[in-house]
Amino acid sequence: MKRAFITGVTGQDGSYLAELLLDKQYDIVGMDVNLSPEHLQNINHFSNKITLIEGDIRNRDLLLKNIKTHQPDEIYNFASISFVPDSWDSTITTLGVNAEGVVNLLEGVRQTNKTIKIFQASSSEMFGAPRIQPQNLETPLAPRNPYAAAKAYAHWLVTCYRSTYNMFAISGILFNHESPRRPMSFVTRKITSHVAKIKYGLCDKLALGNLDARRDWGYAGDYVNAIWLMLQQDEPEDYILGTGETHSVREFCELAFGYAGLDYQKFVIQDPGYFRQEGEHLRVADPTLTFRKLHWRPRVNFQSLVEMMVEADCALFKTIKA
């Protein structure tokens, strides 16, 4: 039985990966900074099947202790300050979690057992305002916000440890990936949760920023399959993870409201306060090599993803209204 250590296990990606690995008969150790009941919603249905540790990835001694104690075969790092606007208000914290925390993980493996395989969740935000479309592993990194800068630091550090210490340490550069487990601060979940609230009379308007902003949106439940496959390869290398297509926020609204029998134009208003400080830039994945090397393809398309999220939020807010 393989053992996996998952940081950020209660989040969207960590919880989906834990489910996948349980199905594959892994022994799972999950760590998260907050294990209070309200933060366990994504894993309540299987939390009794895994070992849970409350801890901060910035705590090097704690990480080292747990790597030594549990001796995992694989480590998946999803611990992150992941909401980009927050990184401007909490720059030091973002740097600590998204960069220093990765140093701690890499050092923990280097000092204990260099055969442990490590996955680091990198971000398409690292590309900043790319001049070339789509983006691949040859595209220069040019971060334009503290979140992206911290992710870029961690990304290059993984490369350094891989080459210097011959470690199986890799990064997956993830483009936007969504699900019913996405926090409601993110635009996709903000839209689907408001669709449900409006449908059940809990609110009457949705304020958004740039409706013409485009994203490469995939389904998080699909992406964790690719992430697992990355650590099953014979040689360590980085990967681009996305769908290769983009859709606008306006398209998302039209589909989400339409699925609930509503016209988005009657409820959505644009608020300049929600426009990004660093501006909008088109980022779309070139996942050609990922598709070929991992023999992986996304199974949930854009429309199905939107409908899945609306259904989940309608079920949630119908219960709340009742």
Q: Has 147 been annotated as catalytic?
A: yes
Give the SS3 label for residue 162: helix
- Residue partners of 102: CB distance under 8 A and separation at least 6: 57, 77, 120, 154, 157, 158
Q: Has 36 been annotated as catalytic?
A: no
Handedness of CA 145, 90, 6, 56 (dihedral sign): positive
Per residue, the 3-state secondary structure of 128-146, as one string, reads CCCCCCCECCCCCCCCCCH
Contact 17, 43 (CB under 8 A): no
- CB-count exposure of residue 304 (10 Å: 0-12, 13-18, 19+): exposed
Active site residue: 123, 171, 179, 193, which one?
Answer: 123
Active site residue: 19, 125, 178, 251, which one?
Answer: 125
Contact 175, 218 (CB under 8 A): yes
Which phi and psi angles does 222 have, rounded to 5°? Answer: -75, -40
Q: At what angle do helices 146-165 and 101-112 cross, to 10 degrees?
A: 10
Q: Has 125 been annotated as catalytic?
A: yes
Where does the chain have alpha helices with state H? 12-23, 60-70, 84-89, 91-95, 101-112, 146-165, 187-199, 220-230, 249-259, 288-294, 302-321
Active site residue: 147, 219, 239, 264, which one?
Answer: 147
Supply the residues annotated as catalytic: 123, 125, 147
